[in-house]
Amino acid sequence: MATGWAGDGAVQDQIDATIKDGIERVRNQLPKGASLKRCEECDAKIPEGRRKALPGVRLCVACQQVHDAEAGVAGGYNRRGSKDSQLR
C-alpha cells in the first residue's frame, strides 16, 4: 500500500500511539486512593471484591450505573472501531 512519504510501519505506529493515549486517558480517570466500604450515594455496602478490583471506588454498582448513564458513558459495541464501519 502506498503511503506517500510515510515510512514502513508508520500507520501502525500511529494506531498504536492512539490506543496507548486512549488507555492512559481512561486510567487517569479511574478513582484513586482508599475505597469506601459504603456507597456515598445510597449508603449500601460495597462488596470487598469490587473494592479490590477498583481501588478508590466510591459508589455501589447500581449507583455507578446511574452515574455512568447520566454522564453519557457508552457501553456495548464500538462501531467507530469496526472495520465494517470504515468500509462504508
pTM of the predicted model, to two decimals?
0.54
Residue 33: the pLDDT is 85
73 — pLDDT class (breaks 50, 70, 90): low
Does residue 58 fall inside a structural domain? yes
Q: Which domain holds residue 37?
A: 30-73
Does residue 42 fall inside a structural domain? yes
Name the domain count of the chain: 1
Does residue 25 fall inside a structural domain? no
Does residue 52 fall inside a structural domain? yes
Rounded-to-integer distance, Cα 3 and Cα 9, Å: 10
pLDDT tens-digit readout, 9-68: 888 899 999 999 999 998 888 778 889 999 999 999 999 999 998 889 999 999 999 998
Rounded-to-integer distance, Cα 17 and Cα 3, Å: 18
User: How far is CA 43 from each of CA 1, 7, 60, rounded to the nearest angstrom?
Assistant: 58, 56, 9
Does residue 65 fall inside a structural domain? yes
Does residue 7 fall inside a structural domain? no
86 — pLDDT class (breaks 50, 70, 90): low
- Identify the CA nearest to 57 among candidates 29, 25, 33: 33
